[in-house]
A and B are shown apart, each in its own frame.
Chain A
């Protein structure tokens, strides 16, 4: 056998090699496919969660110069604070790890019980590990006179509903 022949035999794809390759390829790709499918399976397409647009009662429910915690929707209704007369809606979900900060009237600030973040009247972080300010939600008065809030729509801290 000449040198050239040896080379050729080595690189030659025999029938056996061909089937071996495709056999393994088939097994591995079907495993990989099922794995990907299982991962996708874990992401639900339909969620039965509370809506992100909701009504929270009439402006008259919230007295002037007050901060009211609305338990079910996880937000505070702020009226007449920080020199802004109207009604403003701020999230009550701490931007750090999601605990509910408490409004401390005496200090005019929110304090989070979990890791001690403090938010001032503008929602800005003044102490603690929270990375972002509390977001203000867009809200308008619906035709039935109730406040309607969209918790996906963030606005500036001076956005208000005039009353």
Chain B
């Protein structure tokens, strides 16, 4: 009873009602208002097919990828407050994050392991979609968007990998840059691609700032936009795929 009084006190006032127009969602209309009255939820339909919520069908793999993307965005922004993309400072900033910043090591770990996890779960999600035939008409285009999201995820991981400016980072990027340099015709295409990626001819300050800008602005924005398209298309394609009904 006490709880009921408290709930009443918190919700039965002008302030609460100015935000949530519906009361406790205990009938179908209010339940639909939960979804339609909320910017962040209304990308989902008010009603979904039973197959959509079957855990054993999607295994939640796409959603896990999305959640990891959100966690990575939040922890990434936090790391940005301490990290300076300069070849003199970057490595020391990582050390500071580990030893001198409160909870710095936790946020760095969340960001790094979250990134590994996202690569794995996006890949598993792709396998789920394939093995359930979820890529077939009318979902061909969304599968294509998905493939691009997979590549974006890989590029996000790769550009992030350089930022600590440690031995792992430096040599991984050296290899990748030279690899890009082998695109034929090597003298024209390869050389200029390599130059754009590194902002010069060596893995140095110019390369670091380019990878940084790609990692914190360009790729996350493109990925967020495409994830938006991906979700919108799921609705436009009639929800998650399911067996034909008799």
Identify the A interface with B (CB < 8 A): 42-44, 47-50, 96-99, 114
A98 engages B175 (CB within 8 Å): yes
List which B139-167 residues lie within 8 A (CB) of chain A.
none
Give A97 to B176 CA distance when docked, in angstroms.
Answer: 8
A98 engages B178 (CB within 8 Å): yes
Can you name 8 A-B residue pairings with CB atoms under 8 Å? A42-B199, A43-B192, A43-B195, A96-B178, A98-B175, A98-B177, A99-B171, A114-B171
A98 engages B174 (CB within 8 Å): yes
List which B179-218 residues lie within 8 A (CB) of chain A.
179, 192, 195-196, 199-202, 204-206
B175 engages A44 (CB within 8 Å): no
Question: Closest chain B residue to A46 by CB distance?
Answer: B200
B56 to chain A, nearest CB (A): 43
Question: Closest chain A residue to B176 by CB distance?
Answer: A97
Given the contacts A43-B192, A43-B195, A43-B196, A97 and B202 also touching, CB distance less than 8 Å: no
A49 engages B196 (CB within 8 Å): no
A49 engages B174 (CB within 8 Å): no
B196 engages A42 (CB within 8 Å): yes
Known: A48-B205, A99-B174. 10 other contacts (CB 8 A): A43-B195, A43-B196, A44-B206, A47-B200, A49-B201, A49-B202, A97-B175, A98-B177, A98-B178, A114-B175
Residues of B within 8 A of A43 (CB): 192, 195-196
Secondary structure type dominating chain A contacts: loop
Given the contacts A43-B192, A49-B204, A114-B171, A97 and B179 also touching, CB distance less than 8 Å: yes
Identify the B interface with A (CB < 8 A): 171, 174-175, 177-179, 192, 195-196, 199-202, 204-206
B166 to chain A, nearest CB (A): 16
Give A1 to B171 CA distance when docked, in angstroms.
Answer: 77
Give A97 to B201 CA distance when docked, in angstroms.
Answer: 14
B151 to chain A, nearest CB (A): 20
Residues of A within 8 A of B196 (CB): 42-43
A99 engages B175 (CB within 8 Å): yes
Give A97 to B172 CA distance when docked, in angstroms.
Answer: 10
B20 to chain A, nearest CB (A): 43
Residues of A within 8 A of B199 (CB): 42, 44
Residues of B within 8 A of A98 (CB): 174-175, 177-178
Most chain B CB atoms below 10 A, which of A44, A49, A98: A98
Most chain A CB atoms below 10 A, which of B178, B199, B204: B178
